[in-house]
Structure 1
């Protein structure tokens, strides 16, 4: 008698009522609504946004979490930066639908993003976020103390993770964007719907 080979897949799907996949063009409106709800409509004035304005995210590092019905419930992107002369990625924003709190959507997005970044040969990831939350993924302030952002920020929230040992050794100075410039396009339409969870990374 032939054993059923699809059982493990079914169990995985039941255990995780969401999936992590590459962001799609069709996700844009829902993603903008999610970010507006998490960060407020003034999010475009925040310090980290200056590293993203007019730039494309790092290739393969725009991820979405979606429920089984196709609804977007989480998002994360990573961006090319120079961290005091060291090539790195800046992670953010990370946002999760408040209705999915307790499902570890944020953790799943983080782990996938870091795994993809490492596979693609990136040496380090930097973010501005809550140290107690990001410590579980290996982020610390050990090598970011001499780095700065183009605007006001809380020093203790500037964290780094080396994917390659020594990638942030001697990092000093301003973090600046180095990603590909975007072509001029019409502004993305945004919607405002249900409440979302308070995000961890700006």
Structure 2
């Protein structure tokens, strides 16, 4: 039996160790990590999955970001979004559907919390089953393959007219 719960501060290092196990060395050099530095993950949406012995089986995190038409102009219109990732499942639990359960459950919580749009950098064949599709006009910092920038609307039309550069969140984290 696997239990999904909100990640707590005391889970941090165990989750980081899971990410180190599941992802290539240098994962923190990716552009998405520049967007996360110094910005806390969204409480309640970032989750851990633990087995019946309390051992970490999986984790997912969400980060607030802005999409800005002109990232150098502080007065430029900025649209809030959630950046999903990373999501990881311990190798001993892969193939059990745990990654999908983490994604579905946390997306439902994001919707309930009032967030309207989610983006990620990932493999479309995997994420399309959760409703993600390629985003045009939304640019992650380089070096990011634009074909891997995917979005999901939690509210119909939430990505309509949203274009620009994904930039670090500033200010308090509130759903939008």
Matched, 1:83 2:74: no
Unaligned runs of 5+ in 2: 69-77
Displacement after TM superposition at 1:180 (Å): 5.3
Q: Kindly indicate whether the alpha-carbon contact (under 8 Å) linking 2:7 and 2:43 is maintained by their aligned counterparts in 1.
A: no
Name the Cα RMSD after superposition: 1.4
Q: Kindly indicate whether the alpha-carbon contact (under 8 Å) linking 2:64 and 2:169 is maintained by their aligned counterparts in 1.
A: yes
- The separation in 2 between residues aligned to 1:169 and 1:72, in whole angstroms, is 38
* More contact order relative to length (CA 8 Å, sep ≥ 6): 1
Displacement after TM superposition at 1:26 (Å): 2.6
Equivalent of 1:61 in 45, 54, 62: 45
Calculate the TM-score normalised by the size of structure 2: 0.88
Equivalent of 2:121 in 105, 128, 143: 128
Displacement after TM superposition at 1:92 (Å): 0.5
Q: Kindly indicate whether the alpha-carbon contact (under 8 Å) linking 1:47 and 1:150 is maintained by their aligned counterparts in 2.
A: yes
- In structure 2, the residue matched to 1:101 is 94
Equivalent of 2:104 in 107, 111, 132: 111
SS at match of 1:126: strand
Displacement after TM superposition at 1:83 (Å): 2.1
Extract structure 1 runs of 4+ deviating beyond 6 A. Answer: none
Q: Which of the pair is proportionally richer in strand?
A: 2
Q: Which whole-Å deviations, capped at 9, do the CAs of 1:137-186 have from their partners, x for residues lacking one?
A: 10001xx21111122111111000000111111121110121558xxxxx
- Where do residues 4-43 of structure 1 align in structure 2 (5 Å cutoff)? 17-43=1-27
- In structure 1, the residue matched to 2:150 is 159
Equivalent of 1:172 in 135, 150, 163: 163
Counting matched residue pairs gives: 163
